[in-house]
Amino acid sequence: MQVSIESNSDLKKTMTVVVPQEEVDTAINKRLEEVKRTAKIDGFRPGKIPMSVIKSKFGKSVRAEALSELTQSFFYKAIMEEKINPASPPVITPNDENKEGFEFSASFEVYPVVKVSAVDALELEKPTSEIAESDIDDMIEKLRTQKANWNVFDGKAEDGHRVSINFEGKVGEKSISDEPIKSFPVEIGSNNMIPGFEEKLIGASADDKLSFEVTFPEGYQEKDFAGKPGKFDVEVEKVEVRELPEVDKGFINEFGVASGDLEDFRQDLSKNMTMEMDRALAAKRKQIVMDAIIDNNELEVPEALVDNEINQMMASLKEKAQQAQQPTDMDLPKELFEDQAARRVKLGLLLSELIKDNDIKADADRVQERIKEFAQTYQSPEEVISWYNSNPQELNKVESVVLEDQLVDWVLEKAKVKETTISFKELMAPANPVV
């Protein structure tokens, strides 16, 4: 076997392989003998058909099948001998002009050589937080708000009122939605809308028609709108005022505190809020570490891996749409996912190298603890725990999550870390406005 490799770029290779003629002849003759034993041709007994007849009738197809098998086996033999790690399936091109043996070319991408810069040189912020009494007060008010009744208000909208609106919006000539949005509730002061939108509704009454411009934030999720002014036409359906319940024994009982005592209620809230805070801090720290690893390491990634990631992201999006009973025939351009997909692939390669180089292995106790956390959300936790532990594929997914958590802990131990304090309110704030 002769092998030559041409580098079209750091990641794109073309490998030319020449299979010796004797290998070709052996493969073809072997298949001809197999065909001879099983072929059925009128006028001949099975197994007694002359080889000249077999070659005449089946020679062309037999040669094609033999060469196909040889191509696969010699391609993998060549990449093993040359110690190449393909990242994409090969595009095979046979060269029929070669009279000595069988020659083919295989074009494919390879995995990059991954070298991760020293972790101890990273300068990272490690956010910390704590729950103040005022945070518990805010949570109680939030729960009161959830249990509130909304009553129609015959007057002008103020801060804290809810306004139901029909509206359309445009950025330039592009609409922000396919159809006008109907009966959309907006709570003034909630900051769920883009900055400035809710303030424009102050002073409005039922049946009012408003037109105004509000600029979308620079980091808005729809890139075509980010940082640009949007023009909105709004019709007010109704204005409502909130009626809050009293924090009495009945109210407290609704949240599972049997005693109905306010102090017990506050302690229960503090416990639950602490768990939420710990999860949010872990997620924030993880994001900081992952961003630092990506931003401090240059790495070209194979297009094939990015395409695979894009396909997975699109499939996941369609699955979520199906679960939410939304249209799944979305014709979204792949370019919409390209940057995020490339970032995910790059991060995956860097994390794998870090884990391998530093021999980080998933801690069995942490894996079981994570499974127990998952299981607590089900009616029969023990059955869920047993299912995970008897299902290697699902268990492997949990191990991967734990392994990433351990890597984050390891990086934070090695890097130059500065602790920063963040309020509970800021930590739990939603990332993006609705509109």
62 with 103, same domain? Answer: yes
Whether 76 maps to a domain, the answer reads yes
Q: Which three-class secondary structure state does DSSP give residue 259?
A: coil
Tokens of 178: 């396919």
Kindly indicate the confidence band of residue 219, based on its pLDDT and cuts at 50, 70 and 90.
Answer: confident
Whether 389 maps to a domain, the answer reads yes
218 with 357, same domain? Answer: no
Tell me the average pLDDT of the chain: 92
Closest among 126, 141, 127, 131 to 424, alpha carbons compared: 131
307 with 399, same domain? Answer: yes
- What per-residue confidence (pLDDT) applies to 328? 66
Whether 282 maps to a domain, the answer reads yes
| pLDDT tens track for 11-35 | 999 999 999 999 999 999 998 988 8
Chain centre distance of CA 253: 39
272 with 218, same domain? Answer: no
Closest among 276, 243, 19 to 151, alpha carbons compared: 243
- What per-residue confidence (pLDDT) applies to 330? 66
- What per-residue confidence (pLDDT) applies to 333? 83
User: Position 177: which residue type?
Assistant: S
pTM here? 0.73
User: For 338-349, what is the mean pLDDT?
Assistant: 95
Whether 222 shows a pLDDT value over 90: the answer reads: no
- What per-residue confidence (pLDDT) applies to 435? 55
- Residue 291 belongs to a domain with what CATH number? 1.10.3120.10
**Residue with tokens 């019709």, as numbered in its chain:** 235
325 with 352, same domain? Answer: yes
Q: How are beta strands 102-109 and 12-19 bridged, if at all?
A: antiparallel
Residues β-bridged to residue 186 = 163
Q: In this structure, which long-range contacts are made by residues 192-197, counting pairs with CB atoms below 8 Å and at least 24 apart in sequence?
A: 192/430, 192/433, 192/434, 193/433, 193/434, 193/435, 194/220, 194/230, 194/433, 194/434, 194/435, 195/433, 197/232, 197/435
Give yes or no for a contact between 257 and 264, defined as CB atoms under 8 angstroms apart: yes
Tokens of 145: 């708000």
Domain boundary among 109, 136, 161: 109
Range of the domain at 157: 149-243
| C-alpha dist (Å) from residue 191 to 180, 208, 210, 216, 220 | 22, 22, 19, 13, 14
79 with 167, same domain? Answer: no
Domain boundary among 243, 269, 304: 243
Domain count, the chain: 3
Domain boundary among 243, 273, 298: 243
- Residue 219 belongs to a domain with what CATH number? 3.10.50.40
User: For 45-67, what is the mean pLDDT?
Assistant: 87
Q: How are beta strands 149-152 and 209-215 bridged, if at all?
A: unpaired
221 with 343, same domain? Answer: no
157 with 303, same domain? Answer: no
Judged by average pLDDT, the poorest of 152-166, 235-249, 310-324, 371-385 is: 310-324
Whether 434 maps to a domain, the answer reads no
- What per-residue confidence (pLDDT) applies to 334? 86
| pLDDT tens track for 363-388 | 999 999 999 999 988 989 999 999 99
Whether 114 maps to a domain, the answer reads no
158 with 91, same domain? Answer: no
Whether 411 maps to a domain, the answer reads yes
346 with 422, same domain? Answer: yes
Kindly indicate the confidence band of residue 215, based on its pLDDT and cuts at 50, 70 and 90.
Answer: very high
Kindly indicate the confidence band of residue 432, based on its pLDDT and cuts at 50, 70 and 90.
Answer: low
Whether 17 maps to a domain, the answer reads yes
356 with 409, same domain? Answer: yes
280 with 209, same domain? Answer: no
Work out the widest C-alpha separation in the chain, in whole angstroms.
101
- What per-residue confidence (pLDDT) applies to 322? 80
- Residue 72 belongs to a domain with what CATH number? 3.30.70.1050
Whether 49 shows a pLDDT value over 90: the answer reads: no
